[in-house]
Amino acid sequence: MKKRILAGVILALISSQVAAKSWMLTDADTSTEKGDWQINSSQLKLGNEPFSIQQKVLHGGKQEGSKVITLTSKNGLTIMLSPTRGMDLLRVTGHGVRLGWDSPVNEVVNPAYMNLESRNGLGWLEGFNEMMVRCGFEWTGHPVTKDGVIYTLHGKAGNTPASKVEVIVDDKAPHEIRIRGLLKEHTFKKANLETWTELRYVPGSDSFTIHDVLTNKADYPHDYQIIYHSNFGTPILEENARFIAPLASVSPFNDYAKKGLDHWATYGAPTKDFDEMVFNLKPKADSNGKTVAAVINSKGDKGASIEFDTHQLPLLTMWKNTDTLKQGYVTGIEPGTNYAYPVTIEKEQGRVKQLQAGESTEFTLTYSLLKDAAAVSKVEQRVKDIQGNESIKVDEKPIAVE
């Protein structure tokens, strides 16, 4: 009997696999690169919710050769991601709202022109402008030099060109779209980590899901770290915009952030000399370990939320960078396995996770564009429900000194 059920499941899986169209845009194994490419729902005769998916090879400056995939849903979101930059999300728009921000770095920098080691390990800042950049997986956090090795800011995944890029569209309504990319962190004797990143989107909807599977392909255990560095500027971020999340505790990242602890969850207008404050958060979750964090505008009719699983991503960093518009007025909501301290400190304090030989782990995050007061209220209610009666513990002392 058990066998029959299993067979049924397998058949269902196979048919679910088969019942989709797929396009391999990039494949290092077969040396495939489609370059400029596009499909749309009319061509595919998938009519209800019009969408298109386009890949474009960029030119000019340090973005020469960078690729961008744009998924456009007429009634939903437009999502841009870059296979050349670790399948990072560049920006998402819909209903007059933009998820993302305006960085002084205004090109999609090809990693060929990056030197992560420069600026004493801050080279990453020469390419940073994403709405969501994967900070990992070999390491993450602020740079540190140990035994002569520079553990550069936020690791290498975000500056790794994808070895495989695949677009999949379900044959069946609602025609879910998946854009998958394979990131390799391969170094003889040092690392053999592979991450299949996946963006899942149903045309017409206001949410999308990131589903990443990280595998340690080596025969030895390997540490890993990941922070999903998700960044929001105008129009959501503004004076009196608020950060909300159900939390067990909050503490300032350093002494400078301590000064902002009183109003840590409320944002100021663009402020000269504000620079950045970072807060370490311990999320509370529902009984399944699920939680949500969001930034919502002053009136409470626009926002962005991220649902994630605290079993996968137990920690949350809130990055408040409400300096002037030109400097990059932005806040980061950053679910992660870690805080943003250097890997040496994270290791010392016991927060660095490990994968055994051959082991995989996954990360699932659902991002929603909150387009109106109703959408915002729903998230606020969910935060309240998870928070319950327990108040947020405020720790005045940073847990570490860099």
Q: Which of residues 367-386 bind its own copies (CB under 8 A)?
A: none
Q: Would you count residue 213 as binding its own copies (CB under 8 A)?
A: no
Site membership for its own copies, residue 32 (CB under 8 A): yes
User: Does residue number 187 form part of the binding site for its own copies (CB under 8 A)?
Assistant: yes
Query: Which residues have C-beta within 8 Å of that of residue 283, sequence separation ≥ 6?
Result: 245, 246, 247, 248, 291, 293, 310, 314, 315, 316, 335
Residues 263-282 contacting its own copies, CB under 8 A: 272
- Smallest gap from residue 108 Cβ to its own copies (A): 9
CB of 115 to its own copies, least distance (A): 6
Residue 103 contacts its own copies per CB under 8 A? yes
Is there binding between residue 58 and its own copies (CB under 8 A)?
Answer: yes
When asked if residue 219 is in the footprint of its own copies (CB under 8 A), the reply is yes
| Beta carbon nearer to its own copies, 187 or 356 | 187
Task: Quote the least distance from Cβ 329 to its own copies, whole Å.
Answer: 10
The residue from 49, 64, 176, 402 that contacts its own copies (CB under 8 A) is 64
Q: Which is nearer to its own copies, 187 or 381 (CB)?
A: 187
**Cβ-based nearer residue to its own copies, 69 or 296:** 69
Tell me if 359 contacts its own copies by CB under 8 A. Answer: no
The count of chain residues that interact with its own copies, using the rule CB under 8 A, is 69
Q: Binding pattern to its own copies, positions 109-148, x when CB under 8 A?
A: -xxxx-xxxxxxxx--xx-xx---------------x-xx
| Options 155-163, 240-248, 310-318, 365-373: segment touching its own copies (CB under 8 A) | 155-163
Q: Does 85 sit near its own copies (CB under 8 A)?
A: no
Distance CA 77, CA 211 (A): 18
Residue from the set 94, 252, 328, 335 that interacts with its own copies by CB under 8 A: 328
Which segment (15-23, 46-54, 180-188, 377-385) binds its own copies by CB under 8 A?
Answer: 180-188
Q: For tokens 């991450």, name the residue.
A: 195
Question: Is residue 218 within the footprint of its own copies (CB under 8 A)?
Answer: yes
Q: Site for its own copies (CB under 8 A): which residue of 104, 174, 221, 235?
A: 104
- 3-state secondary structure labels for all residues of the chain: CHHHHHHHHHHHHHHHHHCEEEEEEEECCCCEECCCEEEECCCCCCCCCCEEEEEEECCCHHHCCCEEEEEEECCCCEEEEEHHHCCEEEEEEECCEEECCCCCCCCCCCHHHCCCCHHHHCHHHHCCCCCEEEEEECCCCCCEEECCEEECCCECHHHCCCCEEEEEEECCCCCCEEEEEEEEEEECCCEEEEEEEEEEECCCCCEEEEEEEEEECCCCCEEEEEEEEEEECCCCCCCCCEEECCEEEEEECCHHHHCCCCCCCECCCCCCCCCCEEEEEEECCCCCCEEEEEEECCCCCCEEEEEEECCCCCEEEEEEECCCHHHHCEEEEEEECCCCCCHHHHHHCCCCEEECCCCEEEEEEEEEEECCHHHHHHHHHHHHHHHCCCCCEECCCCCCCC
Residue placing its CB nearer to its own copies in the complex, 45 or 59: 59
Q: Which residues bind its own copies (CB under 8 A)?
A: 26-29, 31-33, 56-65, 103-107, 110-113, 115-122, 125-126, 128-129, 145, 147-150, 152, 160-164, 182, 184, 186-192, 217-220, 272, 323-328
